[in-house]
Structure 1
């Protein structure tokens, strides 16, 4: 990809963004069921609970798998499977304009962990998109990225 700006970018609204997240959650839940099943087997057949020796490892593994899922798709094409379904693509937001360049590992990490914080504040970071001109959430702003509606592009 090149670093040219996208002249007529249309930004994705909050609801399409949430629908894409919903799709991605279904895929992640399937993966996390398998991981949880393995953790339960390693825990003597009992559900892993806070205080169990394996609990911190399971939490870290779940966060790592979620991070790897999103970051791999964001770095390699700018679209998770949910984003592809809803025709949404992640782009670098250079100088306030969508750029046709992909993001790097550092940007993906900033975006992912800021999104976790956004959810932690009762979704306030996501609701921010309702007031931003480019429909950006906290994790878009902190990582200097933007979501583009591919239905609007004329290729």
Structure 2
């Protein structure tokens, strides 16, 4: 059995499969849950101190502090910010690092802000359609999902690190 030489560039890496991409997404959901809890706590503190809202925990009524469009927009911005920051900075989210996945342009170049924004807008649609945008990759040789196609990006599988 012959060993293949290690890949020398991003374009030599294999395309990431749907299963690993969904596993990375699940891993990222744990990170996002923590970020949203911190955001929710800070938003509740700010709105109760500066907004004059009165939370009534004795009556189990938190609606004045945890509802409203401002909180919801903030939560969307936290989620989008996590992905855009990760994709733009390192080409990987924490979940993608765990599964050795990387996103970049087809040439292997770091994604632009525009590409990251397009991915962040289309990825929820891919998921909301019962995962159809992700499972679309099963029908393609390059395993591209809807948000990959829309943003002109690719997700590749990084090699395992060799033991020293």
TM-score (norm. length: structure 2): 0.78
The residue that corresponds to 2:146 in the other structure is 138
Q: Distance in 2 between matches of 1:53 and 1:82?
A: 28
Aligned pair count reads 144
| Partner SS, residue 139 of structure 1 | helix
Say whether residues 1:150 and 2:158 are aligned partners: yes
CA contact (8 A) 1:39 1:54 kept: no
What are the Cα deviations for residues 79-121 of structure 1, in whole angstroms up to 9, with x where unaligned? 111111111000102xxxxx22100111000001100111221
Q: Distance in 1 between matches of 2:161 and 2:153?
A: 18
| Ranges of 4+ aligned residues in structure 1 off by more than 6 Å | none
Q: Distance in 2 between matches of 1:15 and 1:7?
A: 21
Match of 2:128 among 73, 98, 120: 120
CA contact (8 A) 1:118 1:126 kept: yes
Say whether residues 1:86 and 2:99 are aligned partners: yes
Q: Gaps spanning 5+ residues in structure 2: where?
A: 1-8, 56-60
In terms of Rg, which structure is larger?
2
The Cα shift of 1:144 comes to 0.5
CA contact (8 A) 1:9 1:153 kept: no
| Partner SS, residue 32 of structure 2 | helix
Q: Distance in 2 between matches of 1:86 and 1:16?
A: 7
Change in Cα spacing, 1:146 to 1:100, as seen in structure 2 (3 Å) is same
Say whether residues 1:68 and 2:81 are aligned partners: yes
Say whether residues 1:9 and 2:31 are aligned partners: no
CA contact (8 A) 1:11 1:148 kept: yes
CA contact (8 A) 1:87 1:150 kept: yes
Say whether residues 1:100 and 2:108 are aligned partners: yes
Q: CA RMSD in A?
A: 2.5
CA contact (8 A) 1:40 1:48 kept: no
Q: Gaps spanning 5+ residues in structure 1: where?
A: 94-98
TM-score (norm. length: structure 1): 0.82
